[in-house]
Amino acid sequence: MKRILIIGGSGSWGQELVRQLLAQEKDAMIAIYSRGEHRQVEMARHFSDPRLHYIIGDVRDRDRLSLAMRGMDVVFHLAALKHVPVCERNPDEAIKTNILGTLNAVEAALANEVSRYIFVSTDKAVDPINSYGVSKSMAEKTVISANLRSSATTFVCIRGGNVLGTQGSVVPLFKEQLLRANEITVTDLSMTRYLMRLQEAIALLFAATNEAQGGEIFVMKMPSIKIQMLVDVMTRRLGNKDTRIRTIGRRPGEKVHEVLVSRQESERTFEHGDYFVVLPSMDIREVYSKWNSRTFLSQEYNSADNRFLTASELETLLAEDGWLNTVPVRDLDGLSREELIEFFKKEGWR
């Protein structure tokens, strides 16, 4: 029986990963490790599957992590403080969770000789300019360097861009603002962002699990969107002629365009099907021997110099995933109209 641990498994990514694992792994034990008891209870009611087990714990607790990893074959590390403004205001907390928490998980994986450890990173880790990005960049390096410490565990990272409709992302906020306040607040209409569906993000997790030699960073190829176009599409479908669009200015640490592979990394990055593979800067001979016949990129991979979704494609994507209907967003329906207007100012597009 395969034994799988998902750290931070009660969030958006974790629940989609569980959904796909339950469909693929008929004989498996899947443990959800997270600190939120309420979300775990909700998740248990939703899935109601005997293959699932729940463990309350924090990545800041190394002993608890080590106990949770006993006998595990595969570990998916999804837990993080991930909101840019929150991490910018609380960099010490970002360090504790995103850097030290990752170190704790890596140490626990090494101690328990887990077979595969897959860490989820972000485009913000590339050429980072905010606390969140810096902390995830350091976490990446912690995970990749662990391959030098053990031959028993394969450590690998994946990088994704913005995932449509996940907790704290801009699309649910825009939707609720339009439905209840008939306005949208944006930081900068000239911004571009990567965008992918959650199902596609989980496919990258499986690709890294199956193909990694150890030390790679797998990067999903994904289209870009223009924030101006997103505003136009959602306003046309959910707003009216009186809809107000307020530009409030970029927040500290916020980029106009995102990068998934930096110029420096491009010299050791190659295309492989639906994703890129970034090889480590350190000498991990096994990984280079596996991929040594590949042709490396010649430039960075960023959201401005990329294929953009057309307005029609974006509208279809939003409609298919339910973001253009009038059903309230569950995580935001407790906010008043005034609270909703102010919420985006503080949180924004992460």
Residue 331 within a domain: no
Cα angle value 93/95/97 (rounded, 5°): 70
pTM: 0.89
Helix (H) or strand (E) holding 263: helix 263-266
What integer pLDDT is reported at residue 187 of this predicted model?
87
CA distances from 93 to 78, 97, 98 (A): 17, 6, 8
Residue 183 within a domain: no
What positions carry a catalytic annotation?
124
Query: Cα(65)–Cα(105) distance, rounded to whole angstroms?
Result: 6
Would you give the DSSP letter of residue 98?
I
Query: Cα(88)–Cα(81) distance, rounded to whole angstroms?
Result: 11
Helix, strand, or coil (residue 165):
coil
For residue 35, give both structure tokens. 């600190």
What residue ranges of the chain have pLDDT lower than 50?
Answer: 347-350
Distance of CA 195 to the CA centre of its chain: 11
Query: Cα(88)–Cα(39) distance, rounded to whole angstroms?
Result: 25
Residue 229 within a domain: no
What integer pLDDT is reported at residue 349 of this predicted model?
38
What integer pLDDT is reported at residue 84 of this predicted model?
86
Phi, psi of 6 (to 5 degrees): -115, 110
Residue 321 within a domain: no
Cα angle value 154/156/162 (rounded, 5°): 155
What integer pLDDT is reported at residue 168 of this predicted model?
65
Query: Cα(133)–Cα(258) distance, rounded to whole angstroms?
Result: 11
Residue 158 within a domain: yes
User: Contact, 242 vs 183, CB < 8 A?
Assistant: no
- Residue written as tokens 């339009």? 178
What integer pLDDT is reported at residue 348 of this predicted model?
44
Query: Cα(190)–Cα(54) distance, rounded to whole angstroms?
Result: 43
Residue 230 within a domain: no
- Residue written as tokens 């499986």? 206
CA distances from 152 to 3, 102, 114, 143, 233 (A): 16, 18, 7, 14, 50
For residue 333, give both structure tokens. 């329906």
Query: Cα(41)–Cα(56) distance, rounded to whole angstroms?
Result: 11
**Structural domain for 53, as ranges:** 2-163+195-222+261-302
Instruction: For residue 174, give the amino acid letter.
Output: F
Residue 175 within a domain: no
CATH of the domain at 203: 3.40.50.720
Give which of 231, 207, 230 is closest to 218, Cα–Cα: 207
Residue 307 within a domain: no
| Length of the chain (residues) | 350
- Which tens digits make up the pLDDT trace of 146-203? 999 988 999 999 998 888 877 667 898 899 899 989 998 888 999 999 998 888 889 8
User: Contact, 209 vs 116, CB < 8 A?
Assistant: yes
Domains held by the chain: number: 1
What integer pLDDT is reported at residue 346 of this predicted model?
52
